[in-house]
Copies of this chain bind each other. A is one copy, B any other.
Amino acid sequence: MTAEKDIDVLISEVGPRDGLQSVVATMPTTLKREWISALAGAGLKEIEVGSFVPPKLLPQMADVADVVAHALTLPGLFVTALTPNLRGAEAAFVAGVHKITLPVSVSEAHSLANVRKSHVQMIEEVQAVVNLRNTRYPGVQIEAGLSTAFGCSLQGTVPEDDVIRLAVIMAECGVDEVGLSDTAGMANPRQIRSIYPRLRSAIGADKAGSAHLHNTYGQGLANVVAALEVGVTTFDASQGGIGGCPYAPGATGNIVTEDLVFLLESMGLRTGVDLDRLMAAREILKKGLPNEPLYGYLPEAGVPKGFCYAGRNV
């Protein structure tokens, strides 16, 4: 998380990574650059711009180093990337990202399906990444993103104790932050209220990272309200709600950045994001992915008359 005094809540835009890697089409590099510039121009201060994965597996991400290089030219933007393993992490370090996120599944079934590693193997991988960072790239932040932290399409229920145990192991490995991901969209506000205070007690408030909430069952913003109550201040979201939930075809993935900004600003929480500019960025996304459905209510309805951004005089 970046330290920003002029905002109350940090929105980490993950569309260029979580969104673009989940669709069949590949967005042309020039449009990716244009889109990321527009997102940053709308006021988003942190963007996950891609995944460092083999192009054979995810051809949509083959240009990730180029995309990172462009993002690093944007003033004030905190540039992050997803890296599933040591090899990807090293490539991301070389590319110059400010932060990497390592996906670590709480559900072992999901871990095996997603990164083909058991818990033991994945913990070893995280440790190797931290060691590499410590030795050669000390300025780069590392977040462990705990997937399936609220339930798993393969395993079903995921016990809270398992989440906390893995979070502690991650902290012991030396990651800077541990975020929780609702990979399957199964989280509910009661769970959210219960788990975040435990997470902070277990690993310290400074290490408790972002909430990555999916909207598979339409519960995303409801969970944000609960998370705000228990002190979460960083939320992942994607423009147009693009992003993956391969186990729920037809259902949206991430919470929609546009609707999240509306929620937070109308609650009096400053995000730094301008909705009109965000809508302009959406046009570039549409151009880049002409055949993909985009989600979001605010984009359909338009910014309402009398809408008042947080901290601004009417």
**Contacting residues of chain A (222-252) with chain B, CB-CB under 8 angstroms:** 222, 224-226, 245, 248, 250-252
**Contacting residues of chain A (176-226) with chain B, CB-CB under 8 angstroms:** 184-186, 188-190, 215-219, 221-222, 224-226
- B186-A217 in contact (CB<8A): no
Decide if A306 is an interface residue (CB 8 Å cutoff).
yes
- Which of A47-55, A122-130, A261-269, A277-285 is the contact stretch? A261-269
Q: A217-B301, A218-B297, A297-B216 are in contact. Are A188 and B267 (CB under 8 A)?
A: yes
| Chain B residues whose CB sits within 8 angstroms of the CB of A298 once the complex forms | 217-218
Q: A185-B301, A252-B297, A300-B250 are in contact. Are A268 and B216 (CB under 8 A)?
A: no
Q: Shortest Cβ distance from A307 into chain B, in angstroms? A: 8
Distance A300 CA – B252 CA, assembled complex (angstroms): 9
Distance A250 CA – B296 CA, assembled complex (angstroms): 11
| Chain B residues whose CB sits within 8 angstroms of the CB of A186 once the complex forms | 266, 304, 306-307
- Count residues on chain A whose CB falls below 8 Å from chain B CBs: 43
Decide if A75 is an interface residue (CB 8 Å cutoff).
no
Q: Shortest Cβ distance from A305 into chain B, in angstroms? A: 5
Decide if A151 is an interface residue (CB 8 Å cutoff).
yes
Q: Shortest Cβ distance from A146 into chain B, in angstroms? A: 18
| Chain B residues whose CB sits within 8 angstroms of the CB of A151 once the complex forms | 304, 306
Distance A259 CA – B216 CA, assembled complex (angstroms): 10
Decide if A26 is an interface residue (CB 8 Å cutoff).
no
- Binary B-proximity of A70-108 (CB < 8 A = 1, otherwise 0): 000000000000000000000000000000000000000
Distance A301 CA – B252 CA, assembled complex (angstroms): 9
With both beta carbons as reference points, the residue of chain B lying nearest to A187 in the complex is identified as B266
Sample of 7 more A-B contacts, CB < 8 Å, known A219-B221, A219-B263: A190-B268, A216-B301, A218-B259, A218-B262, A219-B259, A248-B301, A250-B301
